[in-house]
Chains A and B, each alone.
Chain A
Amino acid sequence: MIGVISYLVFFSTVAAILAIAVLGLNLQWGNTGLFNGGVVASFGAGAYGTLLLGGSAQAGHLGGYELAYPVALLGGLIFAGVLAWVIGVLTLRLRHDYLAIATFGVAVAFENLMRNATWLAGGAQGLRGFERPLRQTLGDGFLYNVAFFAFVLALLVLTYVFLERLTASPFGRMLRAIREDETAARSLGKSPSRARLVAFVTGSVIIGLSGALYATFYAFVSPQDILPILTFQIWAMLIVGGAGNNRGAMFGAFLIWGAWSVSGWALARFAPVEAQLFTGSIQFILIGAVIVGMLLWRPQGLFPERLIVSQPGDFSTTKP
């Protein structure tokens, strides 16, 4: 029984970390309509930034500054934010598919930089992290995982509350206006390019937070962690959950990651021995089918966006 709980805690931790990334993407795509095809660039920037700043000294590459964990985490977020700002300034003039291709290219470039620049972060061998924070006090086992889960969950809730308030604010309304009709927004005196940049950087910092937590949890990051498949997975979570709805975004993360894990576990357990070797491929087909099915029959996602008039004007008092 303790095994099941222990596993569920572990699973939920990873799902919650991914949910934070999906929330960040939701701000960019769901609310602002920015097609970010380079989610892993921000994710990787957060992960690498945190480990470089907080990690212990290792021969052959940068890092090993052994900063206190909160400082390292903050540094990772700043790194993700600065990277996003640079990308944003360069690419946000692009629309939709062009933006997607540009950001995708940046993400691939980032992965290749990390793979090749051995002097920077260990190259393909990856970057080993630090002792997990508070490991001395909490030990290595179940208790640690519970504590870390609580930490991640708290950050997830914080991010959610922040985004809920942001999207309900006038700024959020402006983002949606830009998403729906940029020309109309501009005619009302709004500056779409600035708002898009702010939304892009904010979303990227949130994705960077997710990457930083991921690297902390595994105490390791390598170029294999930031392959384009991760961008695809996070997009799948958002699409299934419901773009434009923060609750949907989080639910999608848990659902897709759950499907990924449960299908692997179930196939390993129940499939006949001869089929065991093919479970990986079967799993890909099953998950692909779920995503295609969602797109065909429920493209708005499980939790569609709730379009509300956030400040209903009191029309009765306005005189024509």
Chain B
Amino acid sequence: MKKILLTTLLAAGYLALPSGASAQDCTTKIGAVLPTSVDWGRPIAETAQFAVDQVNEAGGAAGCKIDMVLRDTQVDPKVGVDAAKALVDLDGVDVLLGAVSSGVSMPILTSVTVPGDVMQMSCCSSSTAFTKLAEEGKTDGLWFRTFATTAVQSAMGAKIARDKGYKSIAILYKNDDWGQDMARLLAADFKAAGVDVTASVAINDGQPSYRAEVTEALASQPEALYLALYPNEGSSAVREWLSLGGTQDMILANSLKSDEFRDKVGLQYLGKALGTDTASPRVASADAFVEAYKKRFDSEPNGPGLANSYDAAMIALLAMEAAGADASGAEIAAAVPKVTDPKGTPITADTAGFASAKDVLAGGGTVMYQGATGNVRFDKNGDVSAPAVIWSFTEDGIKEDEYVSLEQVDQFIASLK
């Protein structure tokens, strides 16, 4: 009787074992600190997790399954730094994805990842302060971001103004680190392109009216208007601008590439508006990302930072694969050029791409990751450049007017210098 009981127990215990635990039962943790308690932050985290899932389908990275431990930053630097420190110390991660706000990424970089020898890859921090920090050699090569610096956006704005022959322009910019950076870069780029900046006005969030700001811009009598704003305050400001008789010749930053903005302002007023954005390369892998994303989430990847978040996670995991098992943060960071090598074997941004990258890397080769934001390639400061598109609004969405390849972008930026 006793024996039967024991056998039954053993059998039950055996059955209860997780069925998937076969050859690959090790897991490597990576950390993610993202503002998941904010509405636009959650999709960014979901997209990162999506990349991790795809890599796990391809058998994981560096011989182990990947477990992404996600912590919320609440867009509070204290909370974000604490979460990052906990991930590094308690979960022992060597790779940290995040954060979104530059004001959170920066203290994490200076007080957690650089002292702790952890690679940090942000999807969305745009501040030029990171470039300065890297130039001073204070990031130890551990910092990367897949968000093309504001320089590309700003240069494309100047390109439109020059192509359209505007003589003067006023700028309305969002009053945060991104907007202030944009305003500064735009002022320099417009000047270099021979366009006179008549006014540069900061727009604060959540004001009931922007009449004072708009009037200030209007009083300077510009031929055109540049908008470095988000849809919410952007639509209010533009409506006041138009109702006061402002010009419809507008240039829009990528943050206004949204249906919400078009609907709130009205398409009939946006006929002459041109926008800029960084673009996916004209390769199959970018379409593959869109297809895979639609299949997984049932919607277009239209939110801010989604493609960047995906690429950040993918490149980090590819670098882990290239660095091999038990690599330190610095070793993984040093392996990033191996997976973004323009001379390497091209790979797509999906499960099959990761699997083929594994073979190439195992054979000692290098790969060129063709991601959702392009053939990502970091410069020595961890910044990326990207191809760009010029777009405009249409009845049923957004139309691409011009594609500016990476070479053309680089050339144009060089011509402004």
Contact = CB atoms under 8 A, between A and B. Distances in A.
A224 B92 CA distance: 28
A265 B179 CA distance: 33
B407 interface: no
A227 B42 CA distance: 22
Nearest to A115: B175
Interface string A156-182: 000000000000000000000000000
B90 A4 contact: yes
Nearest to B87: A268
Given A3-B90, A7-B89, A264-B83, A125 B70 contact: no
A280 B72 contact: yes
A78 interface: no
Main secondary structure of the interface of A (DSSP, over half): helix
A217 B83 CA distance: 16
A116 B201 CA distance: 11
A140 B90 contact: no
Interface in B175-203: 175-177, 179-181, 202
Contacts of A218: 77, 81, 107, 110-111
A300 interface: no
B95 interface: no
Contacts of B133: 128
A277 B85 contact: no
B42 to A, nearest CB: 5
A198 to B, nearest CB: 30
B70 A224 contact: no
A120 interface: no
A284 B37 contact: yes
A245 to B, nearest CB: 24
Nearest to B38: A280
A242 interface: no
B36 A279 contact: yes
B71 A123 contact: no
Given A125-B129, A279-B72, A220 B82 contact: no
Nearest to A17: B78
Nearest to A217: B111
B306 interface: no
Nearest to A15: B82
A227 B79 CA distance: 13
Interface stretch (B98-106, B252-260, B378-386): B98-106
Contact of A220 (B85, B86, B92, B110): B110
A141 B110 CA distance: 12
Contact of A224 (B46, B72, B85, B104): B104
Nearest to A139: B115
A14 interface: yes
Contacts of B88: 3
B69 interface: yes
Interface in B388-414: none
A281 interface: yes
A280 B176 CA distance: 23
B114 interface: yes
A225 B115 contact: no
Q: Which 3 A-B pairs have the closest CB atoms?
A: A280-B37, A280-B72, A224-B103
